[in-house]
Structure 1
Amino acid sequence: MKTIEAESVAEELLGIYSRLGFPKEVLTDQGSQFVSGVMKEVSRLLSIRRLTTTPYHAMCNGLVEKFNGTLKAMLKKMCDERPKDWDRYIDPLLFAYRETPQESTGFSPFELLYGRTVRGPMRILKELWTGESEVSETKTVYQYVLDLQERLEQTCQLAREELKKSRQRYKTYYNKKARVRNMKVGEEVLLLLPTDKNKLLMQWKDHFQ
Structure 2
Amino acid sequence: MNTPNCYHVCNVRKTRTTSYHPEGNGLVERTNCTIYDILLAFTKNGHQHEWDAHLPFYLLAYRGTTHSSTGFTPHYLWTGRDFRLPADLRYPLLSPDQTTPQIFATKLHEVIRSAHNAARVTLGNASLHQKQHFDRHTAGNAFQIGDLVMQYYPIPPCCTSAKVHYPCG
| TM-score normalised to structure 2 length | 0.65
Superposed CA RMSD in Å reads: 4.0
Greater share of residues in strand = 1
Q: What secondary structure, in the 3-state scheme, does the structure 1 residue paired with 2:136 have? A: coil
Are 1:144 and 2:84 an aligned pair?
A: no
Are 1:95 and 2:60 an aligned pair?
A: yes
Q: Aligned to 1:71, which of 10, 35, 59?
A: 35
Are 1:80 and 2:9 an aligned pair?
A: no
In the alignment of these two chains, the number of paired residues is 143
Q: What secondary structure, in the 3-state scheme, does the structure 1 residue paired with 2:49 have? A: coil
Q: What secondary structure, in the 3-state scheme, does the structure 1 residue paired with 2:61 have? A: helix
Are 1:33 and 2:20 an aligned pair?
A: yes
Q: What secondary structure, in the 3-state scheme, does the structure 1 residue paired with 2:15 have? A: strand
Q: What secondary structure, in the 3-state scheme, does the structure 2 residue paired with 1:189 have? A: coil
Q: Is the 8 A contact 1:111 1:117 kept in 2?
A: yes
- The 3 A distance-change label for structure 1 pair 76 and 146 is same
Structure 1: which amino acid aligns with 2:20?
Answer: Q
Measured after TM superposition, the shift of residue 99 of structure 1 is 1.2
Per-residue deviation, residues 115-137 of structure 1 (Å, max 9, x unmatched):
1111137xx48x98xx7853322
Query: Deviating runs (4+, > 6 A) in structure 1?
Result: none
Measure, in 1, the Cα distance between the counterparts of 2:116 and 2:84.
21
Q: What secondary structure, in the 3-state scheme, does the structure 2 residue paired with 1:26 have? A: coil
- Relative contact order, higher structure (CA 8 A, sep 6+): 2
| TM-score normalised to structure 1 length | 0.54
- Percent identity reads 23
Measure, in 2, the Cα distance between the counterparts of 1:138 and 1:191.
73
Are 1:114 and 2:92 an aligned pair?
A: no
Measure, in 2, the Cα distance between the counterparts of 1:22 and 1:191.
51
- The 3 A distance-change label for structure 1 pair 201 and 158 is same
Measured after TM superposition, the shift of residue 23 of structure 1 is 4.9
Measure, in 2, the Cα distance between the counterparts of 1:133 and 1:25.
37
- The 3 A distance-change label for structure 1 pair 166 and 64 is farther
Measure, in 2, the Cα distance between the counterparts of 1:191 and 1:162.
44
Measure, in 1, the Cα distance between the counterparts of 2:146 and 2:126.
29
